[in-house]
Structure 1
Amino acid sequence: MNFENIILQVEEKVAKLVINRPKKLNALNRATLEEIHNALQACKINEDVKVVVITGAGEKAFVAGADIAEFANYSVGEGKDLAAKGQELVFDFIANFPKPVIAAVNGFALGGGLELAMAAHFRVASTNAKLGLPETSLGVIPGYGGTQRLPQLVGKGRAMEMIMTAKMISAEEAINYGLVNHVCELEELEGKVNGIVQKILNNSLQAIESAIKAVNDAYVDGVNGFESEIDAFGKAFGTSDFKEGTTAFLNKQKPDFK
């Protein structure tokens, strides 16, 4: 599969998806969003892929935002369509992806870039990372889930302040806010993420898929997350991974999940 704006590499069960527009600080345009979706679709059906890591090309930016030049002259209808299709094809698609998705934030993560990182299941940032939602400084609001996911991660008050002031926060502030899980030096970022990935790969990816859905269900209107958990917990008893995991535990062995 050939791409112009991203790079997709699959190695040892891990798909590395790199936003590759360094001259634009990896800004998102429609073409890039479509390529991200197509790459993730390929990862979803590829049984060799167990975990996805999303990052940006270069050392300056994860994704510095949306490509403003592309939508500066959009109408009301075009703007709404931009947000709706972007959320469906990429941001919600990532949030509900059945395999773990980790954002390796290696620089600026602003606007759509922070929204992309927040859609991932969790985030690891380098010390040079700057994160924010500056949309109100452009006379618009976050349109790729930022007004919804940021409060879930940092709380309503902090989210309101970040959106209203359009300010950037440092990686250290981001970890204090709960916006990222870990912070490390830029040259250590890949190794840090790989270490987490290896821990994930030791566990039942079938169980992890069920856990992703159960956690997400807690944030869906009209869905009882506790009921989703109970249902998924019960179904786990009928899987080969449950048999392997419990048998290995009782025999004091390391499980070999298929």
Structure 2
Amino acid sequence: MDNDHGYVSVHRSHGISTIEFYHPQSNSLPGKILHELAEAIHNEGINADIKVIILRSAGEKTFCAGASFEELAAIQTEAAGEQFFSGFAHVINAMRKAPQLIIARIQGKCVGGGVGLAATADYAIATTGADVKLSELAVGIGPFVVGPAVERKIGLSAFSQLAIDAANWRPAEWAKQKGLYAELHAEISGMDESIHRLANFLSQSSITAIKELKHVFWQGTEHWDDLLHKRASVSGKLVLSDYTKKFIEQFKNKRK
């Protein structure tokens, strides 16, 4: 497990698969992590022994900081940009296609693609510190790939609020009111206890009924394979703009 460059790990127990990702830069998502995450979700999805999937990240402060700025800064062509943003499309499509219900453990702040992961999960359980922000417009790219997942979960009005006011955090309570989070807990221990309870319940439930329920939940998204890759192409072009290059450079300089 390479902690210096991040990792994706899978742990299975009693029909429950826990997929954990980590990156040292606030659990941001470079292409390698996106690829491994999509692959892990797909593999667990086709595993007949798995009845429920828990998606989590390591650490306590940030669930996911979204796209890796290091990789965004390195993109030089539209093709490379499309390939990078398609990584998010692969993860979202793997989550929606998995026949198991997916529980997301949101222990801290969600930015950009992290909001997309929370929205694509079938049931997200969070702490009160799990504030959300879709920062993409501030970067100059817009939340195009994660947009369909976020809009599906919280509606066009709430999605547009996040997408337009891209520099502003929304508190976790707002996210719960809009339906992004199913539950909020003051302490991580309470969140984990609730996740454990729900995962155990689902692991003992009818997998046939769960599959049918998941199918119902995701009706109308069959075109997302094509849609999300088209959206990735849009982001792949925008990331090459002078505006975005300048923003990323300023952001990187602030971190030094």
TM range (shorter): 0.7 to 0.9
Partner of 1:16 in structure 2? 18
Partner of 1:154 in structure 2? 154
Q: Which deviations, in whole Å up to 9, do the C-alpha atoms of 1:55-81 show, x marking residues without a partner?
A: 110101111111111122423332223
Q: 1:193 aligns with which of 188, 192, 195?
A: 195
Contact 1:8 1:18 (8 Å CA) reproduced: yes
Higher relative contact order (CA 8 A, sep 6+): 2
Q: Which residues of structure 2 form unaligned runs of 5+?
A: 224-256
Contact 1:128 1:171 (8 Å CA) reproduced: yes
SS at match of 2:218: helix
Q: 1:41, CA displacement in angstroms?
A: 3.0
Partner of 2:114 in structure 1? 113
SS at match of 2:20: strand
Counterparts in 2 of 1:204 and 1:17: CA distance versus 1, 3 Å? same
Partner of 1:181 in structure 2? 182
Q: Distance in 2 between matches of 1:186 and 1:73?
A: 36
Which structure's CA Rg is the greater one? Answer: 1
Q: Distance in 2 between matches of 1:128 and 1:30?
A: 27
Partner of 2:214 in structure 1? 212
Partner of 1:164 in structure 2? 164
Q: 1:85, CA displacement in angstroms?
A: 4.2
Counterparts in 2 of 1:86 and 1:174: CA distance versus 1, 3 Å? closer
Q: Give the partner amino acid of 2:192.
A: E
Q: Distance in 2 between matches of 1:19 and 1:144?
A: 20
Partner of 1:240 in structure 2? none
Q: 1:40, CA displacement in angstroms?
A: 1.9
Counterparts in 2 of 1:37 and 1:168: CA distance versus 1, 3 Å? same
Q: Distance in 2 between matches of 1:86 and 1:163?
A: 17
TM-score (normalizing by structure 1): 0.78
Q: Name the % identity.
A: 23
Alignment of 1:102-141 (within 5 A): 102-141=103-142
Alignment of 1:81-96 (within 5 A): 81-87=83-89, 89-96=90-97
Q: Distance in 2 between matches of 1:203 and 1:48?
A: 13
Q: Give the partner amino acid of 2:108.
A: G
Root mean square deviation of aligned Cα: 1.8
TM-score (normalizing by structure 2): 0.79
Structure 1 runs of 4+ aligned residues shifted over 3 Å read: 218-221
Q: Distance in 2 between matches of 1:67 and 1:193?
A: 28
Q: Distance in 2 between matches of 1:148 and 1:42?
A: 24
Q: 1:83, CA displacement in angstroms?
A: 2.3
Q: Distance in 1 between matches of 2:92 and 2:161?
A: 23
Alignment of 1:222-241 (within 5 A): none
Q: Distance in 1 between matches of 2:220 and 2:46?
A: 26
Partner of 1:226 in structure 2? none
Contact 2:120 2:150 (8 Å CA) reproduced: no
Q: Distance in 1 between matches of 2:65 and 2:87?
A: 20
